[in-house]
Amino acid sequence: MSTVKDALDRARSEAQDLHKKIEGNTSRDQAALRAEVQNAATQAQKLASSLRTVADEQRADAKQHIADAAARLEEAAKHSREIASASEKELKQTNRAMLEKSRTAVQSLSQAIAARRAAMAKV
């Protein structure tokens, strides 16, 4: 159980770091923003994949929150795939969309951790 706990806590920490990184992109120039958005998308996709593995080891209530977080991260990654020829305005919109999706993912992971703690308290 501690391995699962560690994996879930680590996933939430990584999602929080991703959110901070995306939030920091708001003041960058177009070239830097494009590179950072692409990098954040790659991180989001990797984190979503690792969450799918963590979800398999959870109880139903936590599993749903983790699945929601993975879906939000995959959506964030999807938004950024189309930025190769995007204008600065479109880049900023993509960054804002990724920021919102990553924030929602962090919230879902926090809910999963709370559900896990509640289940452990009942035991």
pLDDT at 27: 66
* Sequential pLDDT tens for the chain (123 residues): 456 568 888 888 998 988 888 888 766 677 787 788 888 888 888 888 888 888 777 777 788 888 888 888 888 888 666 676 678 788 888 888 888 989 999 999 999 888 888 888 876
Closest by Cα among 104, 103, 4, 122 to 63: 4
Maximum Cα–Cα distance across the chain: 54
Angle in degrees, 0-180, between the axes of helices 2-24 and 30-55, rounded to the nearest 10: 160
Q: Where are the domains of the chain?
A: 2-122
